[in-house]
Amino acid sequence: MALRGEGESLLRPEQNAVVMPQNRGAGWEAEGEKAPFLRNEPVKLTPAWEGTNLPNDTLNLKGIAMDLAPPKDKWNLIYLTLILHGLGTLAAWNMFITAKDYFVKYKLVDTPQLATNYLAYVGWASQLPNVLFNWLNIFVQFGGNLTTRIVWSLCIEVGIFVFTIILAMLDTRGWPTVFFWLTMISVLLLNAFNAIFQNSVYGVAARLPPKYTGAVVFGSNICGTLVVFLDWGSHSFGSIRTAAIYYFIAGILVLLVCFDTYFALPLNRFYRYHDTLQQRTLRVNPALAAHDARAPPPKRPPYCAIVRQAWVQLYNIFVIFFVTLTIFPAVHSEIQPITDGFLGNNFVRVTCFLTFNFMAMIGNITASLWQYPTRRWLSVFTTLRFLFIPFFLLCNYKPASRSLPILVSNDWVYWAGSALFGWSSGHGSSLAMMYVSGGNVAPEHASTAGMLGSATLVSGIFSGLLFTYICPLIVNINI
């Protein structure tokens, strides 16, 4: 006669819960089985740990009833790891725009036409892959092994950074145009693989409680601020070329740490618990797994209906990022001080890159604490941000080649406007992304609305970057 514990399923389908057998005795041997969590098998950690090499029922979780006593994230190790991965998702973009002086004043100093449009070209090369991937992902769902995607994308990103360091070591004064286009191709490929890495990191975070997705977002928010300090510190190494070499080496170290910590995830009991719980839930309810062959084919989402329901928030997302990328970094970094010696040689670094990134990070934090403007009035907030475009164009932007008068003639007023610009970008974008899938559409269409929001976001970024080409023409209009 089998024991009572034998009758208790490891997964109770009607509750989606995982339980431990309460007893172990001769009944288990009689049936030719062992208690699932008492098998004496080690955890196998290989590059394919998320696949079949990781025992589903072992995982060294002895004595833990998964539906009653889940492990805790001791010392917040997983939370800190995902913050680091969030930082890694934006490291490439921030490093190439913050290193503007190295490219413009050192490598491209003999080609003023290319130097003038450096940030616009970098923005175009960075965001074009994001636009393509995000819109394509709405209609064609990309799958694949997360480990394979993360490992290969990180390896290729490291290789591109190594190539960038080699270019920094070489004397490119005889072929600046070739150097420029090699750099643009590197940026294009770097951000294409970074888009894969970013999507995969959010896939890993989705296995955990919601705050861990927030950890990835927070990491990406602080990335810009940390890169500014990294650029600042690298200049203490001497020449601008040496500083650039150490600067990009630091970028490689960030990616390598992301690589190592990813493989350390299954060593943590908290992560193993949630990963195993998700896998077992999908086995009990195959319909929850879109890629499961046993699941019925998914219905095509009603895209038009979703857009009609969420168009206001999609407008907010587009406008927020269109205005932000129109100004930052191409216009913002070209504004010079009115007062000679104001902040010394650090005027652009402090008033542009540091101020914007730090205040955008603060804006993300305030949006999580204070959801105002409300869903109904956020469009007023985002539309008012159009005023930042004439504000910055009327600052001391391109003073040597402009016809329009400079009306913002106080450096402190400009700096205050920069701080408000950065904060409103972080606050407004966070609210718009929260509102787009919450309350506007049916719950079953929330994920599609979120993907539309993400695609609208990168479309706003790309459109803003294209509009930066018009800004120099505007200030040269003869009135």
Which of 232, 257, 288 terminates a domain? The answer is 288
Contacts of 316 (CB under 8 A, 6+ apart): 378, 379, 382, 428, 431, 432, 435
Residue whose pair of structure tokens reads 């949006």 in the numeric block: 367
Helices in 174-302 by DSSP H: which ranges? Answer: 176-205, 210-234, 240-264, 269-284
SS3 category, 66: coil
Q: Are residues 460 and 341 in the same domain?
A: yes
What DSSP designation does 351 have? I
Encode pLDDT of 85-123 as tens digits.
888 888 888 888 888 889 988 999 888 888 888 888 888
Q: Are residues 362 and 445 in the same domain?
A: yes
Closest CA to 194 of 159, 144, 246: 159
Q: Are residues 236 and 305 in the same domain?
A: no
Which token pair is 259?
């690589």
Q: Is residue 349 part of a domain?
A: yes
Closest CA to 367 of 379, 359, 355, 376: 359
Q: Are residues 131 and 176 in the same domain?
A: yes
CB atoms inside a 10 Å sphere around CB 22 = 12
Which of 258, 288, 318 terminates a domain? The answer is 288
pTM for this entry = 0.67
Taking the C-alpha atoms of residue 38 and residue 58, their distance in angstroms, rounded to an integer, is 7
Question: Taking each helix axis from N to C terminus, what angle separates 210-234 and 77-98, rounded to the nearest 10 degrees?
Answer: 40
Q: Is residue 145 part of a domain?
A: yes
Q: Is residue 293 part of a domain?
A: no
Q: Is residue 111 part of a domain?
A: yes
Q: Are residues 315 and 183 in the same domain?
A: no
Q: Are residues 203 and 241 in the same domain?
A: yes
Q: Are residues 259 and 392 in the same domain?
A: no
Beta bridge partners of 181: none
Structural domain tally of the chain? 2
Q: Are residues 447 and 373 in the same domain?
A: yes
Q: Is residue 55 part of a domain?
A: no
Walk along the chain (479 residues) in steps of 10 and give the mean pLDDT of each run.
Answer: 38 41 42 42 44 45 51 85 87 84 89 85 83 72 70 92 94 92 93 81 74 74 82 78 88 91 85 76 53 50 70 87 91 92 89 92 85 89 96 93 91 96 89 68 57 75 87 84
Taking the C-alpha atoms of residue 197 and residue 207, their distance in angstroms, rounded to an integer, is 16
Q: Is residue 464 part of a domain?
A: yes
Q: Are residues 320 and 259 in the same domain?
A: no
Q: Are residues 239 and 350 in the same domain?
A: no
User: In the prediction, which pLDDT does 341 show?
Assistant: 87
SS3 category, 343: coil
Where residue 180 sits, what CATH number does that domain have?
A: 1.20.1250.20
Q: Is residue 91 part of a domain?
A: yes
Where residue 389 sits, what CATH number does that domain have?
A: 1.20.1250
Residue whose pair of structure tokens reads 């750099």 in the numeric block: 183
Which of 256, 288, 320 terminates a domain? The answer is 288
Domain that holds residue 230: 77-288
User: In the prediction, which pLDDT does 444 show?
Assistant: 53
**Residue 407 parent element (H or E):** none
Q: Is residue 454 part of a domain?
A: yes
CA 436-440-443 angle, to 5 degrees, is 95
Q: Are residues 387 and 469 in the same domain?
A: yes
Q: Are residues 192 and 230 in the same domain?
A: yes
User: In the prediction, which pLDDT does 301 show?
Assistant: 63
